[in-house]
Amino acid sequence: MVTKTEEKQLNQLEIQVDNGGGGTWEYLCLVRNLKVRRSEKVLKHGSSILNDQKKRSALGPDEWTLNEQVAIAAMDCQCLGVAQSCIKALQTKFPGSKRVGRLEALLLEAKGLWGEAEEAYASLLEDNPLDQAIHKRRVAISKALGKPSIAIELLNKYLELFMADHDAWRELAELYLSLQMYKQAAFCYEELILSQPTVPLYHLAYAEVLYTIGGVENIISARKYYAATVDLTGGKNTRALLGICLCASAIAQLSKGRNKEDKDATAAPELHSLAAAAVEKEYKQKAPDKLQLISSALRILKT
């Protein structure tokens, strides 16, 4: 993740380069090192170096790194002629390179030649089955083609090899949700919570999945994870506070006729009041024009 200091440094350098103040190569290096996407700027300033023989020669071996960087930026901007030119230069310099082969497959994707791109990635995986980037590109192709079931299958195979990849678990959960496979999505969020228990986003997402599945036990559990989200965010997550209110209301309705000594069920009114008060306070401070609307909605939930 890029820090505020790094982002400030990058923006200052970008303004300097745009205004002709020098530092083009330093800017391109910083973009690459921070792994940020500034494709239009990289294409513009990177091409200015590559098209100037004197500047290009001064880079030495870094010329090829710049060719790769500009090729990816050009594909982002759909300047496929520039991308092809950069890749051709890399092919000439590094014949048979798997890294260049990956760029060739990316170019096929950019051209919309999905079948050929898939074949290229499959061939590259035969030589290196542990190439994470290629596995992810195959998932991206399946999503682009509107085939979430295939994307899920590929992601599951990927996670058998790289089970500590949090982004992959999150992507898999979102794919399951798109197909309304809530129990499978819940499993993904459980894995994420186990590996990163202090990330409130995962607790919130898991709570929402449990609430969607429904049933008193799931909603009681959902309330607990909404509460964990509130705790992890210092009480600042309005979505989680509203989630507690919804859960409390649902539990009260679903628990009619249950044992009154059930602490999980009888805790609903108290939690509801605390969460509702916190929501109203938040709206009063940040959206006072909507306070009456949210207060009315919260009163309905209490009835």
Domain boundaries, the chain: 1-95, 197-302
pLDDT digits (tens, 9 = 90+) for 168-189: 999 999 999 999 999 999 999 9
pLDDT digits (tens, 9 = 90+) for 30-84: 999 999 999 999 999 999 999 999 999 999 999 999 999 999 999 999 999 999 9
pLDDT digits (tens, 9 = 90+) for 81-139: 999 999 999 999 999 999 999 999 999 999 999 999 999 999 999 999 999 999 999 99
H helices of the chain, where?
4-18, 24-34, 39-50, 53-58, 62-76, 80-93, 98-110, 114-127, 132-144, 148-161, 166-178, 182-195, 200-213, 216-232, 238-254, 263-266, 268-286, 291-302
Q: What is the pLDDT of residue 207?
A: 97
Lowest-confidence pick of 125-139, 203-217, 265-279:
265-279
C-alpha pair distances (Å), 100 with each of 38, 83, 88, 93, 228: 21, 12, 9, 10, 46
Stated pTM of the model:
0.84
At residue 269 the predicted structure's pLDDT band, cuts being 50, 70 and 90, is: low
At residue 274 the predicted structure's pLDDT band, cuts being 50, 70 and 90, is: confident
Residue 103's nearest CA partner among 73, 126, 77, 127 is: 73
Q: What is the pLDDT of residue 252?
A: 84
Residue 176's nearest CA partner among 161, 189, 159 is: 189
Q: Using DSSP, state whether 172 is helix, strand or coil.
A: helix
Q: What is the pLDDT of residue 265?
A: 55
How confident is the prediction for the chain on average, in pLDDT? 91
At residue 161 the predicted structure's pLDDT band, cuts being 50, 70 and 90, is: very high
CA angle 30, 33, 34 (to 5 degrees): 85
pLDDT > 70? residue 263: no
Q: Compute the distance between CA of residue 248 and CA of residue 243 in angstroms, rounded to an integer.
A: 8
pLDDT > 70? residue 235: yes
Q: Compute the distance between CA of residue 204 and CA of residue 163 in angstroms, rounded to an integer.
A: 22
Residue that has been written with the tokens 């996670």 in this structure: 159
Work out the average pLDDT over 3-16.
Answer: 93
Q: What is the pLDDT of residue 227?
A: 94
At residue 257 the predicted structure's pLDDT band, cuts being 50, 70 and 90, is: low
Residue 17's nearest CA partner among 51, 39, 41 is: 41
Q: Compute the distance between CA of residue 252 and CA of residue 302 in angstroms, rounded to an integer.
A: 9
Alpha carbon dihedral 106, 109, 111, 114, in 10-degree steps, equals: 150
